Amino acid sequence: MDKQKALARIQQLRGELQAHNYRYYQLAAPVISDFEFDQLLRELEMLEKEFPEFLSPNSPTQRVGGEITREFNSVRHKYPMLSLDNTYSEAELREFDNRVARLLAGPYEYVCELKIDGVSISLIYENGALVQAITRGDGIQGDDVTANVKTIHGVPLVLERGDYPVSFEVRGEIFMPRAGFDRMNRQREEDGEQPFANPRNATAGTLKTQDSKLVARRPLDIFVYFLLGEKIAGDSHFERLNMLRKWGFKVCDIKSRCQGIEEVIRFIEEVGESRSQLDFDIDGVVIKVNAIDQQNKLGFTSKSPRWAIAYKYKAEEAGTRLISIDFQVGRTGTVTPVANLEPVFLSGTTVKRATLHNADVMAALDVRSGDTVIIEKGGEIIPKITAVDYSARSADSRPFAFISHCPECGTELRRNEGEAAWYCPNETGCPPQIKGKLVHFIARKAMNIDSLGEGKIEMLYDSGLVRNIADLYDLTYDKLLGLEKVITGEDGKEKKISFREKTVQNILNGLENSKSVPFERVLFALGIRFVGETVAKKLARHYRSIDNLSRATADELVTVDEIGEKIAGSVINFFADQRNNELIDRLKGVGIQFQSSEGPMLQTNELGGKTFVVSGVFASFTRDGIKSVIEANGGKVSSSISSKTDFVVAGENMGPEKRRKAESLGVKIINEDEFKGLIGA
């Protein structure tokens, strides 16, 4: 295909894909199948690959992410991002209305909207294309998270229809729908990762993720609620919301024009009753004066508009009876007290259990079996007990003593100084710890043995075939074939499941394939306390082999970027235990990767003792690459500039904030060539 034809086709495909995206995500009314959509997208991808000169940052192909942001540039908001005055009381709402009435001295109406519980964002459009997305930050300046926001399908990259101004800003809320949140958290737990506490935290965490590919996989969505810029059309807020929708933005349907405060209060009550059925979290209702000239008349205080207020719902509470307290033992041995409750309906779900966190929390509440307790569903997934009705307590109730021995294996519990949690130290003999470690080992982000899952691990453990991670690799066809377990199905009937040929072959293949999993993931899979995915990566890149790592002293470990005393102590303890070294030897014996195959070795010590901050884009290094080179030559990389920084290596597009900070602290700024000079390259 010649260039001109290619460009024409590219433009046609972009237009079509954009229209389908709009129909799918904004209108929820697709006219082609997912398959057909993917075909068009693939064709566009191929053409853009063949003709990279036609690549465009706002092409529909850019939704998948890919850009890595090492540090988010701090950007000043053109218009400050104000917050809203808020109240929990109807009386204060009426006061607000009285004030509005007094100041306007004439008829007015309100628009009531949902107060979406997410993360606010400012989207800047120029000539109908998204150019920048900035977080609220402190309201004056926020972080540039454009690459991440571009992966959110609800955010139009290019506006198609309408008479939008050449340049304008849209404010809105990015959030994670509950269904997507639940799905993601389940996956995280399966992968041995910490689940997010609530959709809001998940959203905030996701927007600050450095790898936009990861962001693209998270189910984020958006509602916009504010349009600003110079000479914006529309005499009322409501009209502007309709304009925004016409241009392709997502505006929440649940909103209402209200004549007078009584109608506002009715709206608040109605939403309050149905909020548990929404597919996203809200924390209140926002009430705005509708007419723009009246908004202007009311103006702003230093912090918030006088023409709007947020009414917030109180966290929902319920009283119920505490039947008993269980103790759960996790993968790392931590013992968590969990209350079994008389079932009670709260915020849309029936609650039967609530966490009591740890012994200190239990003692502070003085909670006992049989107590009447108040539970609250705040931001957390698991409800918590906030209070005990001591007056309803029976005379023979006795203080509840925290257990002294592991409920699973009987070992005496221990507690580290300064930590709230009791734990079972019997790492290698306590069933939930062993099973938990095995499940963590096979997880997707660890050894990725997806032919095994929690259920199969349970069977292997119960049969006695597998008691530790190395035992997995001693499994053979004959040992596995016909392995059985009786389970009780959802219908209450007992079923027998047994490993057939195909299952067995899949398990063995999965184990075999895991032998090529790179060292950094193997290190994560070992399940060393406090060594999560990121820490494992850092350690693997720095030490490059398990042998180097096992010889490191605590003093050395803490010089590695992001490794503190707690992690260092845990690593030292791990290798001090001979049983762990034996496991590693067995795993080495079957061919598991305990060495990195890529990345530079410690080459020189030219940069020994020097701390670097890197910023911007480099010609001959990727961002990770330059960091590895610094570390490989004995230097340390830090993410923020301080008086301890020796050099800032400035690439192209270095953030202006960084430059200012470096200059004000007198930190030396060097360019890429000067950096190469330092290591004699």
**Which residues are annotated as catalytic?**
115
Terminus-to-terminus CA distance in the chain, angstroms?
Answer: 43
- Indicate the DSSP class of residue 54: G
Token pair 């990762």 is found at 193
Give the separation between CA 680 and CA 547, rounded to whole angstroms.
29
User: Of the two residues 271 and 322, which places its CB atom closer to ligand IVH in the complex?
Assistant: 271
User: Of the two residues 87 and 671, which places its CB atom closer to ligand IVH in the complex?
Assistant: 87
Give the separation between CA 416 and CA 423, rounded to whole angstroms.
9
Residue 159: its H or E element: none
Give the separation between CA 530 and CA 536, rounded to whole angstroms.
9
Give the separation between CA 440 and CA 196, rounded to whole angstroms.
17
Residue 376: its H or E element: strand 372-377
Q: Measured from the CB of residue 81, what is the shortest distance to ligand IVH in angstroms?
A: 6
Give the separation between CA 22 and CA 159, rounded to whole angstroms.
10
CB atoms within 10 A of CB 352: 14
User: Of the two residues 226 and 574, which places its CB atom closer to ligand IVH in the complex?
Assistant: 226
Q: Measured from the CB of residue 142, what is the shortest distance to ligand IVH in angstroms?
A: 11
Helices within 526-607 (DSSP H only): 533-543, 546-551, 554-557, 565-576, 578-590
CA 127-129-132 angle, 5° bins: 110
Token pair 């307790």 is found at 373
User: Of the two residues 86 and 369, which places its CB atom closer to ligand IVH in the complex?
Assistant: 86
Per the CB < 8 A criterion, the answer to whether 124 and 53 are in contact is no
Closest CB to ligand IVH belongs to which residue? 120
Q: Measured from the CB of residue 293, what is the shortest distance to ligand IVH in angstroms?
A: 16
Tell me which residues touch ligand IVH (CB under 6 A): 82-84, 113, 115-116, 120, 136, 173, 225-226, 286, 305, 308, 310
Q: Measured from the CB of residue 59, what is the shortest distance to ligand IVH in angstroms?
A: 29
User: Of the two residues 282 and 626, which places its CB atom closer to ligand IVH in the complex?
Assistant: 282
Q: Measured from the CB of residue 123, what is the shortest distance to ligand IVH in angstroms?
A: 13
User: Of the two residues 30 and 137, which places its CB atom closer to ligand IVH in the complex?
Assistant: 137
Give the separation between CA 634 and CA 603, rounded to whole angstroms.
8
Per the CB < 8 A criterion, the answer to whether 329 and 424 are in contact is yes
- Indicate the DSSP class of residue 25: I
Q: Measured from the CB of residue 278, what is the shortest distance to ligand IVH in angstroms?
A: 13
Give the separation between CA 272 and CA 22, rounded to whole angstroms.
31
Cβ-proximal residues to 329 (8 Å cutoff; 6+ apart), any chain? 335, 406, 407, 408, 424, 430, 432, 433
**Residue 290, phi-psi category: left (phi > 0), alpha (psi -120 to 50), beta (remainder):** alpha
- Indicate the DSSP class of residue 639: S
| Strand intervals (E) in 7-72 | none
User: Of the two residues 112 and 351, which places its CB atom closer to ligand IVH in the complex?
Assistant: 112
Q: Measured from the CB of residue 232, what is the shortest distance to ligand IVH in angstroms?
A: 14
Most distant pair of Cα atoms in the chain: their distance:
90
For residue 151, give both structure tokens: 């992966």
Per the CB < 8 A criterion, the answer to whether 641 and 658 are in contact is yes
Displacement of CA 105 from its chain's centroid (Å): 48
Give the separation between CA 396 and CA 567, rounded to whole angstroms.
46
Q: Measured from the CB of residue 485, what is the shortest distance to ligand IVH in angstroms?
A: 49
User: Of the two residues 196 and 226, which places its CB atom closer to ligand IVH in the complex?
Assistant: 226
Q: Measured from the CB of residue 173, what is the shortest distance to ligand IVH in angstroms?
A: 5
